Amino acid sequence: MTEPHIKETAASLPDTIIELYDDEQIYNVLAITELRPKRVIYLGPRRIKKRGIKNSIINSLRILGLDTQCFFYTADMMSLESIKSKLDSLIDTFGECTIDLTGGSEVALVAVGMLAASRKIPLMRYDRSTCRYKDIYCCPVMEGRVSDPHLSVPSVLALAGGVMKEHGHLAIDGLTDESAADILTVWGIFKRFHRTWHRAVSYLQQVNKQFGGESLSVKAPSVIFSGERIVNCDSAIMNALSEAGILENYENDASGVRFSYKSALMRSCLLDTGICLELYVYATARQSGLYDDVQISVVVDWDGDLEARINTLNEIDVMLTRGMVPVFISCKSGSPNVVALNEIKTLAKQFGGVYGRPVLVTMSDVRNRDAYLYQRASDMDVTIIDYTDLVNDRLSKRLAAVSKV
């Protein structure tokens, strides 16, 4: 039987919501993104009047396509009388309001409770343990309502005051089914030849450097000298790539090696093992259908001011959002170190808040070969997905587990 709250129409939902400002920004917009009221009134300390704080909330809502009017008011949030007086004034000004108790200080919650009974103000709250809303007082429409937010990567970054400036070294705005299939095909071949894969990459890098340039078509000798080092064409891997259609018109005979990359994306994938790993993570996440947004090579400006002379920028290899949970992924083809852990942890905390999940995906066998780093990651709440997970096709399962609320 369908629960009563599911039958509620949009007309019965609150038109005006008062939010008690919380330093954990997700709680300032959660109800707004789901209930889509006409107006939202933020009540908090004096700092909410700062341009950066106001803009972070407004920009995040606009990115999500919401035109909710936002109003910001202040009170002494350590004074019951100051909060009650301001709430009285706001309700007189705006009329019927519902107050969301999800955020805010203990003092603010006490003040709301004292005022609600005398003025019959509807109160609701998000229950983090059940991911549902609760009717705290005179708000039956919200009782048991399932919380199902759908945040995008740009909206999450905006909420923390940042901005997704652009894509970095991989400028991909989307992924066709064919491209995703090609990436997964390359990864399957990599798994078969993972012990000798570096040889093929080294050869293709030298081919590209000495003979290929920007062209997708290549003609080169099967043996290339790189300084005093000899780099050979790995026929087994090249044949496998050719049979899979990743390399087209492949020939390897006495006159040399000739082939064409299927696409520029496949060339990037084959020339850099790190890029291959990033693309595999990206394609796997998109193919799973679990996530509201999946972005690769995300360049984030910390303060959101693109006109500033000096900006703090970081690049996040892959970023996912699933409900309230943003996942920040760093991909390392080689052996990671503590610096890599600290970097992804810092980004997850800065831009993801309490729900931000830092993940390090590496082709190294960290679990079995670097017990210190693995323990350090565990102590820092950084999830490591390593070589063993990758070659045993556990990436999708591990990402799904880490992205649950």
Q: What is the pLDDT of residues 40-54, one digit of tens each?
A: 999 999 999 998 899
Percent of the chain with pLDDT over 70: 94
pLDDT value of position 167: 77
18 and 129 belong to one structural domain = yes
Does 105 lie in the same domain as 203?
A: no
Given 270, 296, 329, which residue is the final one in a domain?
270
Give dist(CA 85, CA 74) in Å, integer.
11
Contacts 24+ apart (CB under 8 A), 311-319: 313/165, 314/343, 314/347, 315/168, 315/169, 316/347, 317/278, 317/281, 318/278, 318/281, 318/282, 318/285, 318/294, 319/153, 319/293, 319/294, 319/295
Q: Is 264 in the same domain as 351?
A: no
355 with 377, same domain: the answer is yes
What is the domain extent for residue 305? 166-174+273-402
> Are 233 and 323 in the same domain?
no
Q: How many domains does the chain have?
A: 3
Residue range 5-64, pLDDT digits in tens: 444 444 488 999 999 999 999 999 999 999 999 999 999 999 999 988 999 999 999 999
What is the C-alpha separation between 291 and 281, in angstroms, rounded? 13
Rg of the chain over all Cα atoms, to the nearest angstrom: 26
Boundary residue ending a domain (270, 300, 316) = 270
Output phi, psi for 194, to 5 deg: -60, -25
Mean pLDDT score of the chain, rounded to an integer?
A: 91
Task: Determine the average pLDDT of the residues in 198-219.
Answer: 87
pTM of the complete model: 0.90
Residue 265 maps to a domain: yes
Q: How far is CA 75 from CA 20, 52, 85, 304, 391, in A?
A: 11, 19, 9, 27, 56
For the record, the structure tokens of 167 come out as 């894509």
What is the CATH number for 336?
A: 3.40.1350.10
On whether residue 153 sits in a domain, the answer given is: no
Whether residues 104 and 131 share a domain: the answer is: yes
Mean pLDDT of 230-237: 93
Reported confidence tier of residue 84, pLDDT bands at 50, 70, 90: very high
State the residue for tokens 């894509």: 167
Residue 123 · residue 139 · CB < 8 Å: yes
Q: Is the pLDDT of residue 305 over 80?
A: no
Confidence of residue 211 (pLDDT cuts 50, 70, 90): confident
Q: Is residue 17 part of a domain?
A: yes
The residues that bridge with 74 in the sheet, in sequence order, are 44
The answer on pLDDT for 361 being more than 80 is yes
228 plus 291 within the same structural domain: no
On whether residue 156 sits in a domain, the answer given is: no
The two most distant CA atoms of the chain are separated, in Å, by 92
Q: What is the dihedral of CA 202, 224, 232, 254, to 10 degrees?
A: 140
Helix or strand (DSSP H, E) at 126: strand 123-127
Residue 158 counted as domain residue: no
Is residue 265 located within the same domain as residue 277?
A: no
Residue 203 in any domain: the answer is yes
Pair 281, 242 in one domain: no
pLDDT tier at 166, thresholds 50, 70, 90: confident
pLDDT, residue 10, reads 45
Look at strands 16-20 and 98-100 and give their pairing: parallel
* The pLDDT value given to residue 310: 65
Q: Is residue 359 part of a domain?
A: yes
| 285 and 258 assigned to the same domain | no
Q: Are strands 313-322 and 325-332 parallel, antiparallel or unpaired?
A: antiparallel
What's the rounded Cα separation, in Å, for the pair 361 and 388? 11
Choose one of 270, 302, 333: the last residue of a domain: 270
CB 77 within 8 A of CB 105: yes
Which of 50-64, 126-140, 209-223 shows the lowest per-residue confidence on average (mean pLDDT)?
Answer: 209-223
Whether residues 384 and 371 share a domain: the answer is yes
Q: How many residues does the chain have?
A: 405
Asked whether residue 157 is assigned to any structural domain, the reply reads no
pLDDT of residue 309: 62
Pair 198, 295 in one domain: no
Q: How confident is the model at residue 307 (pLDDT cuts 50, 70, 90)?
A: low
Buried b (16+ CB within 10 A) or exposed e, 295-329: bbbbebbbebeeeeeeeeebbbbbbbbbbbbbbbb
Exposed/middle/buried for 268, CB within 10 Å: 0-12, 13-18, 19+?
middle
Distance CA 30, CA 66 (A): 12
Side-chain-side CA neighbours of residue 325 (13 Å)? 17
What residues contact residue 24 under an 8 Å CB cut-off, 6+ apart? 103, 353, 354
pLDDT of residue 1: 36
| Residue 390, both tokens | 């990758």
pLDDT at residue 380, as a whole number? 97
